Structure 1
Amino acid sequence: MKTWITGMLMTIAVGNAGSAVTPFTFAHISDTHMAVRQTKFDENLKNILKEISATTPQPAFVLHTGDITEMGSADEFNLYKENIKASAVPVYSTPGNHESRWADQSINRFAEMLGKPNISFVKNGVRFIGWNSAIWLEHHGAISGDTRRWIVGELKKDPPGTPAVLFTHQPPMYPDSTYQTGDVELWRDIAPYNVVLFANGHGHIFKNWIVNGVVCHMTKGAMNENGGYTLYEFTDSEMKVYDKLYGQDKKLVASIPLKRSPIGVTLKPVGAVADRTFEVRVTNTNGRVSKVEYAIDHHQRPGDSNWHAITAASAGTYRFTLPEAELVPGRHTLAVRAVEPDGSIWVNVIDLPVAQGNNPVRVFDAVTALQGPCAVDATSVYVGGWDGKLYSVDKAAMKKKWTFATRGAVIGAPAVSGSLVVFGSTDRSVYAVDTKTGKKVWAFPTTGPIQGHTAVSGGRVFVASGDHNLYCLDLKTGKKLWAYPMKMHAQARPAVVDGVVFVGAWDNTFYAINASTGTLNWSKRIGTSIFFSPAVSSPCVVDGKVITTAAIVPADKAAFHVLALDTETGETVWGHRMEEGSAAYASPTSDGRRVFLANLSGDLFALNLNDGSLAWKTKMGETTYDCRPTYTNRLVVCNNLFGGLRAYNAANGEPVFQYKTGAGLQFAWPTVDGTTIYQPSMDGTLTSVSGVSLTGTGEAG
């Protein structure tokens, strides 16, 4: 039997309305996807803003919840600025994933052209708080620990009970899918405050759901058909929500009192936690609850099918016992929800750790999101955070040794060489820091954010910038030795082997560049559009072949998911096409005989290096994103998007080890040092798991 450890308790409470609200209306648009060559999107936005301006009474302002542009280019932002400048109603904007996913300047460009991505203001007695939930270079969203602290700080500025509206791009607590990490923690943090609305976009449809009394409302994409938007009317006692298609009548979809009576939901273990029995108390229902249910890791497996009914033990009290099926060791969540007949839910989520027996686990919590992989040396682990800091963490104690602050997020993997740790920041600079003192040795400025991973080879630093250059710097001095101009930026870690630098970029091109001179050896076009570029895949080089992956159009039957290119000529040696799934955001690794990689569907592959044929495939059961397996000591170690950490026998794909690091999204690949695995997470944790090895005979790697 596993050992269960009790989690945190939480009671939902909502205050009464604070200062008086003066009636007003505001509008909500999203997903305009401005594109220079898509005149229809531009026309839709013009029409919608004109219609909003002509509404009686005229809305006080418009909120735009992101995906303003298609690719985050300066031309697209300028087109958007022309439209909002002509609007008779002011427009407040927050970024979406399309401002960061493929954009060479990413969120930096949003800040330069539209202002700070996080905004807060008060209108007629209602607090409005909007922020950037987009993850650098990713499709998903995140509400990091430092962002949550800022949100709570803004809520604290007002009298108790003041109504508040939150707005950002990715939807929170979404019933059918998981679009961002940190929303469960945010709901815990905002429980004492009178948040009445969470406005969002991303899904391009009208959708309304209510969680703990907070109306979560997704508005239709302005780009779709003739576009749509949402109107919110505040009176001194309630908020009404109207969805509206352009040119049609508005439709009332919700009416929420500003003073409301919350349903209380508490969750605690009964007796010893190891008995796996829990008690739920639901209070202040007034006959409003139709059912009570529980789910384990509900964010990883959203949807009603993963919720299980709980039988009432007495009035307002429910008990349930978790099934005998064992959970993977690690940090899980246990959620309960009370559901009203109209579908509104009142939810409570607690931590549910499952003890790990033979593998010591230590966790460092940076609080801020940790997006990129870490690096290690003899005594320390180095990892970058969204708060702009590089963290040095003691390997033995998993405690902070020092931090080095930059002026932008640190999202790429650092590289350690001797007494230096080298890394890039989205503040557009590359830094070299002394590993013992944390003091800056040198800094090299570029004109674009450093969103990719750093490589060091032969006393030289190789890193790509958002200014489209691949830079080669002297390791000791930071002096630029050369810069190769690509047509777009890269985010992968360059592979440097036998005097050649290999890297793919968002221009559909894979490059082989002379590491000494910075001249082009060869280049190869991969993919049919920017969306199918080889920019995410960090290549591996072995036996005269450079291995990379590509996104393909399914209808293109001649295209391959995995390519092995001749290192000298760039000619295709072999290609592998997967029967299902996509390797679009995967990076390969090799043991010298096989190539290992995972696809978006959560399948882990081993391909024979000589011809690309399938050696074995195993289903991990969880999706991956930006995944790069790590090969070490006859093991293939792989992370999954929703907190999974797994190790497999490299010879046959048999599972050896599993662990769950928590509910945070994982875009960083695992770093292995001996038998210890280090895994960063977007929930701010850096997890260390020791003693992971392949026992028994098995085939030598």
Structure 2
Amino acid sequence: MIRIVNILAILFVVGWAVAAEDPVEPFWFVHITDSHIGVSGADEKLTATLKDILKHFPETELVINTGDLTDMGTEDQMTTYVQLVRSWPFPVYNASGNHDVRWSPWGKEKFKELVGPTYYTFRHKGVQFFFLDTSVLAEHHGHFSKEQLQWLDAELSRLSPETPVVICFHHPPLLPASTTDNSDEFAKIIERYNVPLVLVGHGHNLYRYSFNGTTYMMGGSTAYSVVFGSPCYEAFYVNRDGFLPYSRLAQRDKTSSSSLVPRVKPRDPYGELIVEEVKSLGSNSLVANCRITSIGKARLNKGSYEVDRAFRGVTEFRKGGRLSIPLPVSNPGRHSLTVTFVDDRKSTYSRTALFDIEPKRSKASVEPSILRTFDMPSTIQSSPVVDKNYMYVGCNDGTLRAFDLLTSELVWEAKLGAEILSTPAIAGDKLIVGSNDFCVYCFDKYTGLQLWKYRTGAAVLSTPCVDDDKVYVGSGDGVLYAFDVAKGKLLWTFKAEKMIKCKPAVSRGRVFFGAWDNWFYCVDTRTGQPVWKVPVSTTPQFSAATANPATTGTRVIFTSHDYCVRCLDQKTGAHLWMFKPPSGETGPSYSSFVFRGINAYSSSIAGTIVGFNMLTGERILNLPVRPGKPDELFDSAPVLDGKYLYVGSTGGNVYCVDLDAGQVVWSYSLQPGFIFATPAIWGDHLLVASMSGTVYELSRPEVAHAPLLQTRYEPSGVGSKQSSPNRR
């Protein structure tokens, strides 16, 4: 709600204790979504929708918008949205969507400032409403953060068992090939409570589905709906029986009702999905023998399954809820299995379990294993950095942590003011990192002592680039900053037109970077004056703004969001060559390049490792990491060690590629959780951070045993804290 939420939600977010059930009183509310203010005509269409609500549902007491309020998350767009919905007689409550934060120069801070909290709860006439934030900074994907799920569980536990709960957020969970990586964690929580209705957006379509007694309803966009045109929305009449939905297609002047959602969610009679064994059938063929516990006298026949959020099939139940599922995966690691079934009451249920496939132990097999895990209290998008025997990692709880890898000890931690997507940069005995609290920080890398800090005009998602005694870093305010490393003295600034997210590249007295303004820049490192700039693509949404540029000393290479690869003369900015993928094929977009000889290698959201000859632009490699079912490679840029390349995927896998052989040596599954971070090498070990909030330490059996440094810096008078690593 714009007029009231900013006051009430701030109070409700700290907790709501309910001693007894409040009776449900009849009322109307409306669900809209995906208003995309900023798209041509979107504000007029939202206004038309609100007028249509007043005309056809005049008793509406509140309106819910489940995200993508804006198209690009700019201050102008959010201000327009707030002003537009403020003038109506009903309050509007809002969830954030991926478009509200993906390109936002302020991260989630501007949403909180102008719209309200990103997650909160309130009660209206006996119904408890919850709003969650599934948006992921700088991504279109969805994720339920640990902090939110813990808060949700605690708040639900305070309610009377009979209190009906409506939960609202953006990304639809539990659907096949969902863009949310941990929907099952959300589903397991709400199974225990009376949550009859969940409202979502994102799909730009009116769609209803049900799992475990809860009805999920996707709203159609007020800006542009996929099927029905726009505007379209859902209205609900609430009484003591439940929620009666009405779908409204305003352009067609058509209203239709659907079946009642009961006020009390039907009891879920089934137990857990248990994977009892993973059995080998020979020649890399595996089967998972499973069962659903506590089925009672229910008759379960056919079902469907999904492995690792990617591979789907149908299955049949045997007596006692048992089933055997042929596994389409054989790589070692932790995998996920979701089984969906309809019982004899025609109710749909879904259960998810994790299971392990052990690495093969033979001379002929080269497979890694997990040596240790470091569990954080929050999601991780920043890449871990290794310096000697220390690992540094930033988390979305705003905390930067330093671990001694020889002892597993947490040496120090520093609490910053907001999420850390910026990857720490090492400069001698100093560590420099940006934060979404608008600041650039410099710490003593051994003690965690803050040496200097500088506040910019917006969120700092950019990774700093250290060159000699200077450090260069971009900010959401569109400014590239140059600092003296020692004292943090600001040397100069250069203003681009929009946010700078990428890590700049420095070579021969020049710094290179792209911004979300569709320009690629070259700036003099001494003066901060522009040397040249070149346009990138046809629109700012296709900017070269996410992937980090790389330079050979004479040529600079980068990718843009139109899937093109460009190589420029770094002295003049002249295009030397450009690779554009064939029609219907996606290419590199988010990931950065690494060099080996005259070749540059990157990864693609098509799920391939690509290589280019830097002299000719010829594509020399286009290797699918998972043939038959592409595994998208987004922000996790590859890291090289000799001929071996390592990269993480949104499918939760880590891949090792032999560039000489042009083949995948091994892959390892780390379900659940997207991998947006670049892996880090520590001797013959690999450190991989996941959105699950865990840093995994994997062995690298393909390399000769690289010695781990045994020397440790022990600053006097500095104590160490114990971490909670899990050893495998």
* TM-score w.r.t. length of structure 2: 0.86
On the 8 A contact 1:50/1:87 being kept in 2, the answer is no
1:339-360 per-residue CA deviation (whole Å, 9 max, x = no partner) reads 2589752111111122235634
Matched position secondary structure for 1:642: coil
Structure 2 distance, partners of 1:61, 1:325, is 47
1:633 lines up with 2:642 in the alignment: yes
Equivalent of residue 292 in structure 2, options 256, 267, 280: 280
The alpha-carbon distance between structure 1 residues 77 and 539, as it changes in their structure 2 partners (threshold 3 A), is same
Structure 1 distance, partners of 2:29, 2:133, is 20
Structure 2 distance, partners of 1:694, 1:616, is 22
Structure 1 distance, partners of 2:316, 2:682, is 45
1:319 lines up with 2:322 in the alignment: yes
Q: How does 1:672-691 map to 2 (within 5 A)?
A: 672-691=681-700
Residue 537 of structure 1: how far off its partner (Å):
1.5
1:296 lines up with 2:296 in the alignment: no
Equivalent of residue 404 in structure 1, options 393, 402, 414: 414
Equivalent of residue 246 in structure 2, options 229, 242, 247: 242
Structure 2 distance, partners of 1:399, 1:293, is 44
On the 8 A contact 1:210/1:343 being kept in 2, the answer is no
Query: Is there any run of 5+ residues in structure 1 with no aligned partner, and where?
Result: 1-16, 553-559, 697-701
1:549-601 per-residue CA deviation (whole Å, 9 max, x = no partner) reads 1233xxxxxxx821111111111122223232222223211113211012211
Structure 2 distance, partners of 1:326, 1:179, is 20
Residue 185 of structure 2 aligns to which amino acid in structure 1? E
Residue 456 of structure 1: how far off its partner (Å):
1.4
**Which residue does 1:307 correspond to in 2?**
313
**Which residue does 2:512 correspond to in 1?**
502
Matched position secondary structure for 1:570: coil
Residue 692 of structure 1: how far off its partner (Å):
4.3
**Which residue does 2:598 correspond to in 1?**
593
Structure 2 distance, partners of 1:325, 1:78, is 48
**Which residue does 2:8 correspond to in 1?**
none
Residue 276 of structure 1: how far off its partner (Å):
4.4
The alpha-carbon distance between structure 1 residues 322 and 42, as it changes in their structure 2 partners (threshold 3 A), is closer
Q: How does 1:161-560 map to 2 (within 5 A)?
A: 161-175=162-176, 177-224=177-224, 225-246=229-250, 248-259=253-264, 260-270=266-276, 276-281=288-293, 283=295, 291-297=302-308, 299-301=309-311, 306-313=312-319, 317-323=320-326, 327-340=330-343, 344-356=347-359, 359-361=368-370, 362-396=372-406, 398=408, 400-552=410-562
**Which residue does 1:7 correspond to in 2?**
none
Residue 606 of structure 1: how far off its partner (Å):
1.6
Structure 2 distance, partners of 1:324, 1:54, is 54
**Which residue does 2:610 correspond to in 1?**
605
Structure 1 distance, partners of 2:276, 2:170, is 39
On the 8 A contact 1:492/1:538 being kept in 2, the answer is yes
1:60-104 per-residue CA deviation (whole Å, 9 max, x = no partner) reads 211111111122222222221222111111001121111112222
**Which residue does 2:7 correspond to in 1?**
none
Structure 1 distance, partners of 2:581, 2:355, is 36
**Which residue does 1:10 correspond to in 2?**
none
Structure 1 distance, partners of 2:352, 2:596, is 42
The alpha-carbon distance between structure 1 residues 332 and 514, as it changes in their structure 2 partners (threshold 3 A), is same
Q: How does 1:615-630 map to 2 (within 5 A)?
A: 615-621=620-626, 622-630=631-639
Query: Is there any run of 5+ residues in structure 2 with no aligned partner, and where?
Result: 1-19, 281-286, 362-366, 706-728
Equivalent of residue 25 in structure 1, options 25, 28, 32: 28
Matched position secondary structure for 2:646: strand
- Superposed CA RMSD in Å reads 2.4
On the 8 A contact 1:483/1:518 being kept in 2, the answer is yes
**Which residue does 2:10 correspond to in 1?**
none
Structure 1 distance, partners of 2:606, 2:52, is 43
Structure 2 distance, partners of 1:326, 1:470, is 45
- Which one is further off, 606-615 or 61-70? 606-615
Matched position secondary structure for 2:49: helix
Residue 399 of structure 1: how far off its partner (Å):
5.3
Structure 2 distance, partners of 1:324, 1:173, is 20
Matched position secondary structure for 1:283: coil
On the 8 A contact 1:370/1:683 being kept in 2, the answer is yes
Structure 2 distance, partners of 1:217, 1:341, is 23
Structure 2 distance, partners of 1:497, 1:626, is 23
On the 8 A contact 2:507/2:553 being kept in 1, the answer is no
The alpha-carbon distance between structure 1 residues 515 and 310, as it changes in their structure 2 partners (threshold 3 A), is same
Structure 1 distance, partners of 2:185, 2:130, is 17
Residue 563 of structure 1 aligns to which amino acid in structure 2? R
Residue 515 of structure 2 aligns to which amino acid in structure 1? A
The alpha-carbon distance between structure 1 residues 286 and 409, as it changes in their structure 2 partners (threshold 3 A), is same
Structure 2 distance, partners of 1:154, 1:493, is 40
The alpha-carbon distance between structure 1 residues 667 and 565, as it changes in their structure 2 partners (threshold 3 A), is same
Residue 172 of structure 2 aligns to which amino acid in structure 1? P
Residue 121 of structure 1: how far off its partner (Å):
0.6
The alpha-carbon distance between structure 1 residues 270 and 541, as it changes in their structure 2 partners (threshold 3 A), is closer
Structure 2 distance, partners of 1:246, 1:276, is 49
**Which residue does 2:159 correspond to in 1?**
158
Residue 621 of structure 2 aligns to which amino acid in structure 1? W
Residue 285 of structure 1: how far off its partner (Å):
7.1
Structure 2 distance, partners of 1:285, 1:106, is 51
Identity in percent: 27
Structure 2 distance, partners of 1:263, 1:414, is 49
Residue 542 of structure 1: how far off its partner (Å):
1.1
1:499-553 per-residue CA deviation (whole Å, 9 max, x = no partner) reads 221111111111111222211121111111011110012011115111111233x
The alpha-carbon distance between structure 1 residues 672 and 63, as it changes in their structure 2 partners (threshold 3 A), is same
Residue 430 of structure 1 aligns to which amino acid in structure 2? V
- Which one is further off, 424-433 or 240-249? 240-249
Matched position secondary structure for 2:506: strand
Residue 273 of structure 1: how far off its partner (Å):
7.8
On the 8 A contact 2:275/2:353 being kept in 1, the answer is no
Residue 57 of structure 1: how far off its partner (Å):
6.0
Equivalent of residue 565 in structure 2, options 548, 562, 566: 562
Matched position secondary structure for 2:609: strand
The alpha-carbon distance between structure 1 residues 460 and 271, as it changes in their structure 2 partners (threshold 3 A), is closer
The alpha-carbon distance between structure 1 residues 160 and 578, as it changes in their structure 2 partners (threshold 3 A), is same
Residue 633 of structure 1 aligns to which amino acid in structure 2? G
On the 8 A contact 1:543/1:592 being kept in 2, the answer is no
**Alignment length (residue pairs):** 661
1:215-249 per-residue CA deviation (whole Å, 9 max, x = no partner) reads 11110000124301111222213222222112634
Residue 695 of structure 1: how far off its partner (Å):
7.2
Structure 1 distance, partners of 2:445, 2:200, is 42
Structure 2 distance, partners of 1:454, 1:164, is 45
On the 8 A contact 2:377/2:397 being kept in 1, the answer is no
Residue 270 of structure 1: how far off its partner (Å):
4.2
Residue 445 of structure 1: how far off its partner (Å):
0.5
Residue 325 of structure 1: how far off its partner (Å):
6.5
The alpha-carbon distance between structure 1 residues 268 and 182, as it changes in their structure 2 partners (threshold 3 A), is closer
Residue 393 of structure 1: how far off its partner (Å):
2.8
**Which residue does 2:95 correspond to in 1?**
94
On the 8 A contact 1:219/1:243 being kept in 2, the answer is no
Structure 2 distance, partners of 1:102, 1:353, is 37
